[in-house]
Every structure is written in structure tokens, then in C-alpha cells.
């Protein structure tokens, strides 16, 4: 039996593949090993996953865990140790979320895999492992086209009174924010990236407005230029996307990609279904 996980900082999606190919689904809190110690990791796994599994832990033969914070080093080793203690007979692998996306959207074929959610990331995937990647710089230095970038551009346009009158009025009615509140949240509050990304929903609901359509299109165009088109022979490979922003704005994303000579294949909200197929094969 195979257990597969795709974990963010807030939640973890699990799939259990039984001996006859049947799939069971589970959801637990996020298991970022950078932010949680051994006791917290073990507690979440025991209380939210193990007790609900239909089989004894010793019957799990393979565990593939992909998640935020699972870069090589001590945090990943700590999480792998917790998983090995819980599933003593299993082969355990812990990998980062970019490899999860690559395997989830590309399967066993070479391609360019991209994350387009709150933040952004990308890599060239050879069909089994990540062969190369453009550095992800986070929401301050990069993340063009991601949710935080979209929110940042919207807020800047609002504060500079660049929004069309109808969009400006809708924004005021929805949020009723002044400059001091925005500046405080962005520069003094925690999780500024998530705060900024929260405004992407407003853009989505008004995405037919020419100003906001162009804002999203511009963000995706910059992402393609600074990421996808940096890979050698990018035009020869399919490009895949995972993440809420790419998924919900897929029409604009495909248009921008077409205009840049980029062939987009899969756009998914998350990689867990594809990961399940990958490990079945």
C-alpha cells in the first residue's frame, strides 16, 4: 500500500492507494518541518491521519511526502524520522513542493513545471527529477504573476488613484481601506504575502474589466519572460501549471502563453491527483 502527501503550510492532502488500486483521501493540518517540531508533527499525524486509516500502519509499504519546507537538510530528515516511526515497514521519501508539482503535472515526461499561486516557482523536469530551475525570489524580489504580486499591483493602483472609477468604487465598498491601514498591514503585519494575495479574489471577480485584465495579463507575461523562457529550448517542451492563480485565471494565462510562443498543457489547482497517478505507475 502506498501513502502519498502534498503538504502546504496550512493543510496536507493525502491519498492512500490500496492493493487493488482503490484510492482513499484524507486531509490534515499542514506539516511544514521548518515551522513544526517533532512532537507537533507526530501529534498531527497520529490524531488526524493514522487513526482514520483503514489498515494497520505496518501494512503501509511506501510513503511519499512532498511539502513546503521540505528542502534537503535537518527539517526534512526530522519529518522523515517521524514518518518512519509511524510506518516502520515503509520506504519513506520526503521531497519539496516543486518536485510534487513537477511529478504531478508532467508525470514521467520531460517538461517545464510552474507554480502559480500566492507565490511562483518553476523548473525544468526530465521526467523523473528536477534538472534545473530559475531561482524563486519571493514576493519582494519576484513572484510576478502570483497572487501576492497581483494584490500588490492592485493596492498600488488604488492608492495612486489609477483604478477606473467603477473598480475604485467597488474596491472601496468591498474593503473600505485607507492608506495607513494598507501600509501597516504590508510593512508591519505578519504574512504580508498572504495579505496581498487575498486581493486576488477581488481582481478575479472583476477580471472582465480591461484595466484588471491587462494587469493579470501583464503579470503572467512577466512570469513567462523571467521564468519559462529562461529554459533552453523552452518552445520544444510542454509547460504545466499548478496553483490557484493559474487555475482560476487559466483563460488569461493561456492567452499570454500563446502570445509568447509557449505551449501550455496541464493547468491544475493542486498536484495530488497527478502525484497519485505518478506513483501508481
Number of other CB atoms surrounding residue 103 within 10 Å: 25
Q: What is the pLDDT of residues 38-50, one digit of tens each?
A: 899 999 999 999 8
| Residue intervals in the chain for CATH 3.30.420.40 | 2-89, 109-269
| Band of residue 60 on the pLDDT scale cut at 50, 70, 90 | confident
Grid look-up 519571493 returns 138
Tell me how many degrees the CA angle 155-189-143 measures, rounded to the nearest 5.
Answer: 55
Q: What is the pLDDT of residue 281?
A: 65
Rounded percentage of the chain residues whose pLDDT exceeds 70: 99
Residue 279 has pLDDT above 70, yes or no: yes
The winner for highest mean pLDDT among 75-79, 125-129, 205-209 is 205-209
CATH code for the structural domain at 2-89: 3.30.420.40
| Gap between the Cα atoms of 236 and 50, Å rounded | 44
- Which CATH architecture group holds 109-269? 2-Layer Sandwich (3.30)
Q: Enumerate long-range contacts of 162-168, CB under 8 Å, 24 or more apart.
A: 163/211, 164/209, 164/211, 166/209, 167/206, 167/209, 167/211, 167/212
pTM (predicted TM-score): 0.84
Q: What is the pLDDT of residues 175-196, one digit of tens each?
A: 989 999 999 989 987 788 889 9
Residue 109 has pLDDT above 80, yes or no: yes
Q: What is the pLDDT of residue 51?
A: 87
Q: Which residues of 60-70 are buried (b: 16+ CB within 10 A; e: fewer)?
A: bebbbbbbbbb
Round the average pLDDT of the chain to a whole number and report it: 91
| Band of residue 206 on the pLDDT scale cut at 50, 70, 90 | very high
H or E element, residue 104: helix 97-106
Amino acid at each position: 500500500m502506498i501513502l502519498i502527501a502534498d503538504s502546504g503550510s496550512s493543510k496536507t492532502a493525502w491519498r492512500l492507494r490500496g492493493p487493488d488500486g482503490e484510492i482513499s483521501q484524507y486531509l490534515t493540518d499542514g506539516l511544514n518541518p521548518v515551522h513544526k517540531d517533532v512532537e507537533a508533527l507526530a501529534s498531527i499525524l497520529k490524531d488526524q491521519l493514522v487513526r482514520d486509516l483503514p489498515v494497520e500502519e505496518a501494512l503501509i509499504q511506501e510513503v511519499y511526502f512532498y511539502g513546503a519546507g521540505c528542502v534537503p537538510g535537518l527539517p526534512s530528515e526530522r519529518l522523515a524520522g517521524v514518518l518512519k516511526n509511524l510506518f516502520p515497514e515503509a520506504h519513506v521519501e520526503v521531497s519539496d513542493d516543486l518536485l510534487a508539482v513537477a511529478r504531478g503535472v508532467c508525470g514521467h515526461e520531460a517538461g517545464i513545471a510552474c507554480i502559480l499561486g500566492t507565490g511562483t516557482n518553476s523548473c525544468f523536469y526530465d521526467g523523473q527529477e528536477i534538472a534545473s530551475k530559475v531561482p524563486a525570489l519571493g514576493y519582494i524580489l519576484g513572484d510576478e504573476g502570483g497572487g501576492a504580486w497581483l494584490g500588490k499591483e492592485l493596492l498600488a493602483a488604488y492608492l495612486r488613484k489609477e483604478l477606473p472609477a467603477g473598480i475604485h468604487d467597488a474596491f472601496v465598498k468591498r474593503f473600505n481601506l485607507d492608506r495607513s491601514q494598507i501600509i501597516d498591514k504590508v510593512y508591519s503585519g505578519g504574512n504580508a504575502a498572504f495579505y496581498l494575495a487575498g486581493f486576488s479574489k477581488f481582481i478575479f471577480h472583476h477580471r472582465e474589466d480591461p484595466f484588471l485584465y491587462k494587469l493579470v495579463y501583464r503579470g503572467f507575461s512577466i512570469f513567462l519572460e523571467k521564468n519559462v523562457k529562461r529554459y533552453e529550448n523552452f518552445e520544444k517542451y510542454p509547460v504545466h501549471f499548478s496553483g490557484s492563480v493559474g487555475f482560476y485565471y487559466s483563460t488569461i494565462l493561456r492567452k499570454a502563453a500563446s502570445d509568447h510562443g509557449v505551449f501550455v498543457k496541464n493547468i491544475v489547482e493542486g498536484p495530488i491527483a497527478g502525484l497519485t497517478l505518478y506513483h501508481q505507475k
